[in-house]
Amino acid sequence: MPKAGFFVSVKLFEKANRLLAEETRVNPEEPFPLRPRPNEKLSIALAFPNRYYTAMSNLGFHAVYRLFNSQPGTRCERVFLPDPEDIEEYARTNTPLFSLETQRPVRSFDAVAFSISYENDYPNLLKILELTRIPLRRQERQEKDPLIIAGGATVLMNPEPLTDFVDLFFVGEAEAAMGPLAASLRKWRESGIKKEEVLEELARIEGIYVPQFYEATYRPDGLLRSFTPRGDFPARVKRAWLPNLDDFLALSAVTTRHTELSGMLLAELSRGCRRGCRFCAGSYTYFPHRVREGARLAEAVLQRAAPGEKVGLVGAAISDYPDLLPLVKKILESEKVPSFSSLRVDSLTSDLAKLVAASGQKTVTLAPEAGSERMRRIVRKGFTEEEILRAAEILHDQGICSFRMYFMIGLPAETPNDVKAIVELAKKIRHNLVKRNRGKMGGTRITLSVNAFVPKPGTPFQWHPFEDIRRLQEKIKGIRNGLKQERGIEVAADVPKWAYLQTLLSRGDRRVGRLLLAAHQLGGNWPQVFRESDLNPDFYVYRPRAIEELLPWDFIDHGIKKEFLWKEYQEALKEGEKG
């Protein structure tokens, strides 16, 4: 039981202990902090800005948890956005948010490190800070308050909308600079120096961005005029990246049934992607494409996964992984169950399909992304309709009859015919499989996941505007109507207004932090925020950019020249002009 006065809700305390009791540590020898450690010099609360159920399916969160706890003298515990009913309990009992492992109030940690994968989780960051009773804005915090850190995929693309709330950002891959970061933080806690001094030291480490040491100025038309360091700090922040993935193992730290991927051990196969699809942040911000050595990965997985346990294979293009077949065969031979998140249609083979079927997986995800070959050329998806049909046939012949297929709408140069092509392609796949099944209609099911294209920083399409919400709604309606008579085809469409918000948070500058704060204060009422704010969100969402414009994230060196991205964008537009 926690010390008296730390918090008052026994109900919340008991729930935390139930979650812990039902976790299985992947490697019992790893020093995870289930109890206080001797010689502890630095305490980190690792926060995921969403529920436990979502967070524990995120391999990046697991990896950072393991990395922090592997540092000497460092203790890292996990923190999550409480479930809705638990938020009510926190408020009713006046309980400050506490960590999972030892139920220690988050505000008592030296630092709170947020691992952020999705822009739409930004409001949850503010909610967590509120529940911890740490002042939301960094300018309002005192020396005794924890240092607030953020990293993850969205930070790597563009951290600017969060600069009002975060003291320092980790830009890049955590393995590359975790040692220097933790060492500086330990030195800070041992020496008793001021936060300002440790931030000055940290700002000179590759991959660390401290926003208070940089000044942004704006032109009368709202465009960014300049972005300059205040002092002798680097003009551009170089992202940290790991040249050799085999230097660090990326597996789940614990498994649990209380998550989206229930009881599954996650294993990273690769990072980045060699395909270079023009909309894909993973291809560019995690450039270059790197893979893990198959034999070493197989050994690690087989040592740590229990018999009968699922092994989730993680990577941007799993079927491109060169050691995939031998790895999956070893997993199956060891009486474990491989799980495949998504497969590329042009690298799917009969041998791979047999292994997918042998794993017992009933539904396979394929991502055509666009219905027409013209549109796939524009986005550099690079495969034909025949290849899509053939991939579905290969899987169907192995007894896999349920498919989830990802499509995007609102892409650059998209025409009404490109949207209609999504309907026609879905029909062709379905009818082709029914014919292959000797005319039997039952069994084969296709779910179309239709998502609005969101232009991402650091990609060739970063200059392109977001599609008008009403037009996106019309396109979704057209797709639904075109398929409503088709048995066995279901349409699951994204909500365009949330894609609009994601675009705002993805491409915003520092000023967007005002909108985030207002949304928090108004309980998430974004329409009211937009009505009452003097900042026009359409400026960030619907406005096309020019090559000359200084973009809010241009200060990040992703390792790819801006000129190359612009050239790719222009090539896409030229492809669109061909009709």
Number of H helices, E strands in the chain: 21, 21
Give which of 78, 63, 82, 81 is closest to 109, Cα–Cα.
Answer: 78
Given a contact cutoff of 8 angstroms between Cβ atoms, the answer to whether 511 and 533 are in contact is: no
Residues in the chain: 579
In degrees, to the nearest 5, what angle opens at C-alpha 429 toward C-alphas 326 and 332?
Answer: 20
Residue with tokens 């502890």: 40
- Sign of the C-alpha dihedral, residues 77, 82, 83, 85? positive
Tokens, residue 494: 């994204």
Sign of the C-alpha dihedral computed for residues 564, 567, 573 and 579 taken in this order: negative
Let me know: does 177 contact 248? Beta carbons within 8 Å.
no
Q: Which two tokens stand for residue 517?
A: 């704060």
Q: Which DSSP state fits 479?
A: H
Low-confidence residues in the chain, pLDDT < 50 = 1-5
52 burial via Cβ count (<10 Å: 0-12, 13-18, 19+) = buried
pLDDT per residue as tens digits for the range 271-302: 999 999 999 999 999 999 999 999 999 999 99
Q: ∠ at Cα 97 (95, 99), nearest 5°?
A: 125
Predicted TM-score (pTM) of this structure: 0.95
What type of residue is 290? R
Pick from 348, 440, 442, 340: nearest CA to 389 = 348
Q: What is the pLDDT of residue 46?
A: 98
- Beta-strand pair 168-170/208-209: antiparallel
What are the CA-CA distances from residue 132 to residues 44, 91, 142, 270, 289 (Å)? Answer: 14, 11, 15, 36, 39
Q: What is the pLDDT of residue 2?
A: 46
Beta partners for residue 240, in sequence order = 172
The beta-carbon contacts of 515-520 under 8 Å, at least 24 apart in sequence, are 516/122, 516/123, 516/126, 516/161, 516/162, 516/164, 516/165, 517/126, 517/136, 517/137, 517/164, 519/123, 520/123, 520/126, 520/127, 520/130, 520/136
**pLDDT (0 to 100) of residue 1:** 42
pLDDT of residue 4: 43
Question: What domains are there in the chain, each with its CATH number?
Answer: 10-238 (3.40.50.280), 342-577 (3.30.750.200)
The string of DSSP letters for 31-64 reads: ---SS--TT--EEEEEEESS-HHHHTT-HHHHHH
